[in-house]
Amino acid sequence: MRLIDHLKHLDLSNSEAKRAMRGGKVFLHGVPTADAGRDIQPFQVEYKPDAPKLTPGRDLIILHKDPHFVVIWKPAGMLSVRAGKVDGHLNVVGLVGKLTRGEALAVHRLDQDTSGLMMVARTITGQQALKDQLEVHSVERCYVALVLGKTMEKTWTVTNNLVEDRGDGLRGSIDGKPPHNAKRARTHFSQLQRVGRRVNMVEARLETGRTHQVRIHLSEAGLPILGDKRYGSASSVRLAERLSLHAAVLGFDHPVTGERMRFTAGLPDDMEQTRRSLVHAHQNPDRKRVKSKIPKKRRR
């Protein structure tokens, strides 16, 4: 069932449904969505007419909050931590501190143009406990990416050593004996879906969490992520307005109680629209593909 049809079944008119979606009143798995055409199951959707006004795809969403940490949904285009001047760019950690009116401490990061799930600590104890789990690789971190190219296997694993400059000014792997500053990186991949003629949707499960790890491993495997201006190709960059990488699963032990917690977040509106557009273009090759409408990035 399409989302718009479900909202009509809730006795919303077409204009009321669209207005509700634009205002952040319609939630899919706890995250506001304005993508009327996406396929959903009714139990996945909540309509909250009294919810505070939000802009889907632009505003940060707090999915869980307790005295020790929060789990948030980060929009693409937002920094994870402060960069540059003290009063510089809007960032996740700074915004969490404002929204919760308390301390906010970094635990891990997502690239600026990556969307999805992040945890932010609210106490020193919580921060250390969560970082300890990252060190022993007990945190479940799963990404979904749209990539250009054909996957050779249904599942595969990449293990190598990454350096800050592989010889062309970019992070990446190098042949031969790794230097002392190289960092071991390991990612487990699986193919999720063929998207049109040349694009695949893949899952990446992190064992380690190095800077740009998923982007590098896919690019060096000949599967650049759509919209990746740093590691992609001219063809892959043209197929999406932004980096098509989304942190979809985050699982870890509660830093105080030890309870296992797991959060999931479906594809954001822009990636889902890109996916549908590519499928449609493949099924209707004589019709021109229409790029998804991506919300403009917030000015900083």
pLDDT the model gives residue 84: 65
Instruction: Provide the sign of the torsion angle of the four alpha carbons 162, 145, 83, 98, taken in this order.
Output: negative
Beta bridge partners of 185: 160
Task: Say which amino acid occupies 62.
Answer: I
Q: Report residue 22 as tokens.
A: 């634009």
- Clarify whether 59 is annotated catalytic: no
Decide: pTM greater than 0.75: yes
pLDDT the model gives residue 290: 47
Low-confidence ranges of the chain (pLDDT < 50): 87-88, 289-294, 298-300
Are 61 and 53 contacting, i.e. CB atoms less than 8 angstroms apart?
no
Catalytic member of 35, 111, 113, 269: 111
- DSSP for 151-179, please give it: -SSSEEEEEEEEES-SSSSS-EE-SSSPP
In whole angstroms, give the CA distance from residue 185 to residue 288: 40
Are 204 and 214 contacting, i.e. CB atoms less than 8 angstroms apart?
yes
In whole angstroms, give the CA distance from residue 168 to residue 42: 49
pLDDT the model gives residue 174: 87
Distances (CA, A) of 124 to 3, 108, 121, 130: 41, 14, 7, 10
pLDDT the model gives residue 288: 55
Gyration radius from the chain CA atoms:
20
Task: Say which amino acid occupies 221.
Answer: A
CA 247 to chain centre: 3
Distances (CA, A) of 142 to 77, 183, 187, 204, 267: 20, 20, 10, 6, 12
In whole angstroms, give the CA distance from residue 216 to residue 200: 17
- Mind listing the domains of the chain with CATH numbers? 1-55 (3.10.290), 57-283 (3.30.2350.10)
**Each residue of 231-242: pLDDT tens digit?**
999 999 999 999
* CB atoms closer than 10 angstroms to residue 173: 17
**Each residue of 52-74: pLDDT tens digit?**
999 999 999 999 999 999 999 99
Backbone dihedral angles phi then psi of residue 227, each to the nearest 5 degrees:
80, 5
Q: Report residue 6 as tokens.
A: 């479900």
Quick one: 180 exposed, middle or buried, by C-beta within 10 A (0-12, 13-18, 19+)?
exposed
Q: Report residue 271 as tokens.
A: 């990636």
pLDDT the model gives residue 178: 87
Q: Is 248 left (phi over 0), alpha (psi -120 to 50) or beta?
A: alpha
